[in-house]
Chains A and B, each alone.
Chain A
Amino acid sequence: MADHVQRQIAGPQVLGRIVVYGLLVLLALYYLMPLFVMLSTSVKTLDDIRGGNLIALPAEVTFEAWAKAWSSACTGVDCSGLRGNFWNSVSFVVPAVLISTLIGAFNGYVLTMWRFRGSDAMFTLLMIGCFIPFQVVLLPMAQTLGVLGIANSTSGLIFVHVVYGLAFTTLFFRNFYVSVPDELAKAARIDGAGFFRIFWRIILPLSPPIIVVCVIWQFTQIWNDFLFGVVFSSGERQPITVALNNLVNTSTGVKEYNVDMAAAIIAALPTLFIYVVAGKYFVRGLTAGAVKG
């Protein structure tokens, strides 16, 4: 941890510390409340939910809702829960994250150490492009995928996610590599090392913090995506977000809130896990300069 030179606003005074901790705890409550609500609802029985209120603790804890959400809830004609969709999501998220990160790394490398005329303009163009709302691209993308022959397939979905993730991965890597001193690459070039060699031997070993940031970000974005998933996949290959939507937004029947909440948490488990476990690497990577400017 960096050597903090008495930078605290409130020094050793007790009142100051109380204020700081107090604020932090209050904020923590605001952030935790929905999670608490979701968790406690998912272990209540339906009668308990109807009778009590949101914040009340469960009268009895039951994991039936979880079992149902995982393996027997109806997401269409098939009533086999979220289990299959979970693995569907994994099957396209992992390749998409890896491919977009790799390409982003190369792009960042080129944009900082192999600059050529117009490369900065290209970067700006790329950045502006990331503001395009995804609803706009649905139809033309569908048409393009059809022409390319990969419509309605996992490779098509991976392709779409890679295409629209490139702007961010490039941003992350470029901002990180900007702070790598030029002398390193220059010295290597004089020594006769080429493009790939410099990348492999010098740049890549420096990159773990930013790779972590990039992977976490991309994984979260792609895993949580709904729009591309629902439009470019179908049937048994639907991702977990689509199955969750089918489960939660059904239009008839008794609303099983406990199953809905359990399903929502299941859908969020991988990303939650990553943030809880790798959160500090995320911050570390950001400190190392992911988005310095």
Chain B
Amino acid sequence: MKQSTARLTLTALTLATTLAFSAFSRAGEVEVLHWWTSGGEAKSVAELKKILEAKGHKWKDFAVAGGGGENAMTVLKSRVVSGKPPTAAQVKGPSIQEWGREGVLTNLDDVAKGANWDGLLPAVVSNVMKYQGHYVAVPVNVHRVNWMWVNPEVFKKAGAKIPTTWQEFAVAADKIHKAGFIAVAHGGQPWQDATVFESVALGVGGADWYNRAFVNLDTSALNSPTMEKSFATLRTVQKSIDKDAANRDWNLATAMVINGKAAMQFMGDWAKGEFTAAGKSPGKDYICMPAPGTKGAFTFNIDSFIMFEQKSADAREAQRALASSIMEPQFQEVFNLNKGSIPARTGMSMAKFDQCAKDSSAEFESSAKSKKLVPSWAHGMAMPASVQGAMFDVVTQFMNSNMTPKAAAAKMAAAAKSK
């Protein structure tokens, strides 16, 4: 009852506001497809909804959970094919260009010029948001993927040193295991396997090799001794994972670190949200460190919304408002504070952010200069979905069988040819 009265009031207010502003702007409706359905993420998106409604537009939520976007992508394709695409959809990485090629995206250059997006976004970010030089998407955040989340208590109890190289990792994992703890908290899902492998590969092979292998898909880099060594190191990590890891959700693995059952987890910075929600503070209860061997390198994952060509003028107006709202400091700050990532927009005050985010932000800029800023292939930032899927298959099969590193490297090269 209360809710419908509230809605009625809001509608009345919106109506009044829009009537008042009708001379300047028309009130449209934005339909936004996303899969941020849990409490914390939903709160972040709700911020955007608030901002938009304050501008006099309506927000039509279109949430589809499951598989990190699998279901949402199916729904999106069906909607586009039926001729009624939503206003915006949560799509990132090279997929943005694939959608652009289909000719269904709208041109956001007018908004971009007005707010100087080119000046506010690093080149590596803005290039992903463009198709053939025109803006078709808006970045929401920048995630760092090559983090290692550590419970210092567990290390102390085991008498182990927090590793900065993969050799040190093997030693530390052994000590932790002997002390009765689980060394690495992990969930045996393909994307998690790939996330761990990606950090391992970066640590073993360095940023240059990483780019050649996973961005350029160079066969000689893929089927190489470095790749074999990466897989061999992955085997070592695998020995430190508990046997119940299969199909475990990532946040349950983080819970193991929070509760002191496990010593470390290799996961992106969205894990920080779990620590914060459990009331833990960085530096004391947990430590965020770059994964072994990846200090100074930054694996980025940028969430973004692509915008579809809309038919009515009202809808276009609302869409423009949505695009500009996303880039505004107010939204960038609130959203990223909730989500654990850093703003895509540069030049923002990081005062409200915690130490891990501040470190992240600093490393983001320094790694760009030292050419160690690499896209996360496990999160769809480096290669087409078909190749990424094929590589997932190789990594996950490696983790679930006794495939040799040599065979795995050969399969990675074959996977790169997937179309």
Is B346 in the interface zone, CB < 8 Å from A? no
Interchain CB contact under 8 A, B39 and A77: no
What residues of B have a CB within 8 angstroms of the CB of A253 in the complex?
38-41, 251, 273-274, 277
Distance A145 CA – B78 CA, assembled complex (angstroms): 10
**A223-248 interface code vs B (CB 8 A; 1 in, 0 out):** 00000001110111000001001111
Task: Select B46's contact among A77, A139, A230, beta carbons within 8 Å.
Answer: A77
Interface size on A, residues (CB 8 A): 35
Task: Select A143's contact among B39, B65, B82, B251, beta carbons within 8 Å.
Answer: B82
What residues of A have a CB within 8 angstroms of the CB of B83 in the complex?
146-147, 151
Is A252 in the interface zone, CB < 8 Å from B? yes
Is A251 in the interface zone, CB < 8 Å from B? yes
Task: Select A250's contact among B37, B71, B74, B81, beta carbons within 8 Å.
Answer: B37
Is B157 in the interface zone, CB < 8 Å from A? no
Find the B residue at minimum CB distance from A78: B61
Find the B residue at minimum CB distance from A71: B3
Interchain CB contact under 8 A, B62 and A252: no
Find the A residue at minimum CB distance from B270: A252
What's the minimum C-beta distance from A39 to chain B, rounded to whole angstroms? 23
Interchain CB contact under 8 A, A139 and B60: no
**A57-83 interface code vs B (CB 8 A; 1 in, 0 out):** 000000000000000001111111000
What residues of B have a CB within 8 angstroms of the CB of A77 in the complex?
42, 45-46, 49, 59, 61, 63
Interchain CB contact under 8 A, A254 and B64: no
Distance A250 CA – B42 CA, assembled complex (angstroms): 10
Distance A152 CA – B86 CA, assembled complex (angstroms): 11
Distance A139 CA – B3 CA, assembled complex (angstroms): 37
Interface centre among A75, A234, A242 (most CB of B within 10 A): A234
Find the B residue at minimum CB distance from A231: B78
Is A138 in the interface zone, CB < 8 Å from B? yes
Interchain CB contact under 8 A, A142 and B78: yes
Is A119 in the interface zone, CB < 8 Å from B? no
What residues of A have a CB within 8 angstroms of the CB of B250 in the complex?
251
Is B218 in the interface zone, CB < 8 Å from A? no
What residues of B have a CB within 8 angstroms of the CB of A139 in the complex?
77-78, 81
What's the minimum C-beta distance from B69 to chain A, rounded to whole angstroms? 9
**B51-75 interface code vs A (CB 8 A; 1 in, 0 out):** 0000000011111111110010011
Find the B residue at minimum CB distance from A138: B78
Find the A residue at minimum CB distance from B45: A77
What's the minimum C-beta distance from B102 to chain A, rounded to whole angstroms? 13
A252-B251, A255-B251 as given contacts; A80 in contact with B3, CB under 8 Å:
yes
What residues of A have a CB within 8 angstroms of the CB of B74 in the complex?
138, 230-231
Find the B residue at minimum CB distance from A84: B3
What residues of B have a CB within 8 angstroms of the CB of A287 in the complex?
none
What residues of A have a CB within 8 angstroms of the CB of B270 in the complex?
252
Interchain CB contact under 8 A, A231 and B81: no
Task: Select B81's contact among A74, A143, A234, A251, beta carbons within 8 Å.
Answer: A143
Distance A231 CA – B77 CA, assembled complex (angstroms): 9
Distance A245 CA – B65 CA, assembled complex (angstroms): 6
What residues of B have a CB within 8 angstroms of the CB of A246 in the complex?
37, 63-66
What residues of A have a CB within 8 angstroms of the CB of B63 in the complex?
75-77, 246
Chain A, 103-142, CB within 8 A of any chain B CB: 138-139, 141-142
Interchain CB contact under 8 A, B38 and A250: yes
Interchain CB contact under 8 A, A255 and B252: yes
What residues of A have a CB within 8 angstroms of the CB of B365 in the complex?
none
Find the A residue at minimum CB distance from B35: A251
Distance A146 CA – B80 CA, assembled complex (angstroms): 9
Task: Select A234's contact among B46, B62, B71, beta carbons within 8 Å.
Answer: B62
What's the minimum C-beta distance from B83 to chain A, rounded to whole angstroms? 4
Task: Select A235's contact among B31, B66, B77, beta carbons within 8 Å.
Answer: B31
Is A249 in the interface zone, CB < 8 Å from B? yes
Interchain CB contact under 8 A, B79 and A235: no
A74-B39, A77-B46, A79-B42 as given contacts; A231 in contact with B61, CB under 8 Å:
no
Is B285 in the interface zone, CB < 8 Å from A? no
Interchain CB contact under 8 A, A75 and B37: yes
What's the minimum C-beta distance from A135 to chain B, rounded to whole angstroms? 8
What residues of B have a CB within 8 angstroms of the CB of A247 in the complex?
37, 65
Task: Select A232's contact among B34, B65, B78, beta carbons within 8 Å.
Answer: B78
What's the minimum C-beta distance from B145 to chain A, rounded to whole angstroms? 15
Interchain CB contact under 8 A, A142 and B38: no
Is B239 in the interface zone, CB < 8 Å from A? no
What residues of A have a CB within 8 angstroms of the CB of B34 in the complex?
76
Is B359 in the interface zone, CB < 8 Å from A? no
What residues of A have a CB within 8 angstroms of the CB of B39 in the complex?
74, 79, 250, 252-253
A142-B78, A246-B37 as given contacts; A235 in contact with B62, CB under 8 Å:
yes
Find the A residue at minimum CB distance from B32: A77
Chain B residues within CB distance 8 Å of chain A:
3, 31, 34-42, 45-46, 49, 59-68, 71, 74-75, 77-79, 81-84, 86, 249-252, 255, 270, 273-274, 277
Offer 19 A-B interface pairs, CB within 8 angstroms, sorted by A: A75-B63, A76-B61, A80-B3, A145-B82, A146-B82, A146-B83, A146-B84, A152-B79, A230-B64, A230-B71, A234-B86, A235-B31, A235-B60, A242-B64, A245-B65, A246-B65, A251-B251, A253-B251, A253-B274
CB-based closest 3 A-B pairs: A76-B63, A146-B82, A250-B38
Chain A residues within CB distance 8 Å of chain B:
74-80, 138-139, 141-143, 145-147, 151-152, 230-232, 234-236, 242, 245-255
